[in-house]
Amino acid sequence: MKKLFIGALIALTTISFVACGNDTQTNNSANTNDTVTTEVAQEDNSKAEEEAEAKEMAEKEAKEKAEKEAKEKAEAEKKAKEEEDAFNATINLIENTCQNNGFTYINVTGDYSTKTIHVNVGMDGVAQDMVLVKATGINMDAYYSLEDTVINTCKTMHDTFGYHIAYNVVNDANPDNVLLSVLDGSVIYSYMNE
């Protein structure tokens, strides 16, 4: 019986040992599963935080870009308005100067898209004088003096203001008839050269 008792004790010990080993393995497996689950959860949280930070950074960059573009647009519009105002002020200045120089016909207009100012001026009797000079050849010096004055005035305006200046001396009786046309200081047309 003693042998049977010892055999049973050994069997119980073995079973207990195996059972304890299984519990330990189960506990180790459970601990490993808990650790893996915790690590996965931490990775998920870390990814979520990174994605949130990336999204926040992208939104911040998009907002800063939009603000910068809006500021640049406002500055560009302001500059364009100032340039157009300067262009219109130049037209008014040229018109006032022409009035102060005794022209009897004055028409000053501008085309801002091409940055060109059209100056059409006439004086009483200028057409008759040019016809007479062309027909007789008398007083050609007076015509050349007029032409030089118009060329120099046009060139000075172009250099001063930086815009294209189309300067025309027109028939005082019919302003649609151009007698002398100068662009930026170069003669484009002259009645005297027909």
Q: What pLDDT, on a 0 to 100 scale, did the predictor assign at position 23?
A: 53
Gap between the Cα atoms of 26 and 19, Å rounded: 10
CB contact burial 96-113 (16+ within 10 A = b; e otherwise): eebeeeebebbebebeee
In the sheet that holds 186-190, the strands lie side by side as 105-111, 116-122, 164-170, 178-183, 186-190
Successive 10-residue mean pLDDT values, the chain, 194 residues: 55 52 53 67 81 88 91 93 94 92 91 95 89 89 91 93 95 90 95 87
Within 8 A by CB and 6+ apart from 138, the residues are 132
Predicted TM-score of the model (pTM): 0.65
According to DSSP, the residues that pair with 109 across neighbouring strands are 118
Query: What's the confidence (pLDDT) of residue 44?
Result: 78
In this predicted structure, what is the pLDDT of residue 13? 54
Q: Token match 């815009």: residue?
A: 163
Please tell me the distance from the alpha carbon of residue 20 to that of residue 98, in angstroms, as a whole number.
115
pLDDT for the residue numbered 115: 95
